[in-house]
Amino acid sequence: MNPGELNKRITLQRPIITINERGFEEETWEDVKTVWAKVTNLHGGEYFAAAAVQAENTVKFTIRYLPGIHTTMRILFRGKQYNITAIDNIKYQNRYLEIKALEVVGSG
C-alpha cells in the first residue's frame, strides 16, 4: 500500500460507562487516537454481500497497525459516527488494519 493513500483524518473512540448522580449507567465516548486513514466505500462483491444484510452504509477504513482496536469502538469521520463491525490485520503483518464500519444513521 502506498502510504500517501492514508490522507483522511479519523478519530477512534471507545465507550466509557459511568454511574450518574441518580445511580444509572451512562455511556460516553472517549477519544483514543486520531490517525490517518484511507477511506473507501465497499464495491463489487463486498458491496453486494453488505447489501444482502442491509448494511449499505458500510465504509472501509485502512490505517497503520495500531494494537488495542476492537469492535466495541467507533470511528468519527467528517462529522459522522461509524460502529466498527470487523477488523482485519492485513496478512497478519502488523503493518495495516482494514476496518469495516457501519454508519450510525441520524448521528448528526
Does some domain include residue 108?
A: no
Q: Which grid coordinates belong to 2?
A: 502506498
Domains in the chain, number: 1
pLDDT at 107 over 80: no
Looking up cell 482485519 gives: 88
Phi-psi region of 82 (alpha: psi -120 to 50; beta: other; left: phi over 0): beta
Say whether 6 sits in a helix, a strand or coil: coil
> What's residue 44's pLDDT?
52
Q: What is the CATH number of the domain that holds 63?
A: 2.40.10.270
- Range of 61's domain? 3-103
Does some domain include residue 70?
A: yes
> What's residue 46's pLDDT?
52
- pLDDT bracket for residue 57 (50, 70, 90): confident
Does some domain include residue 33?
A: yes
Using alpha carbons, list the distances in angstroms from residue 5 to 13, 18, 34, 57. Answer: 22, 38, 16, 21
pLDDT mean over 13-17: 97
The pLDDT tens digits of the residues spanning 63-77 come to 999 999 999 999 999
Looking up cell 466498527 gives: 84
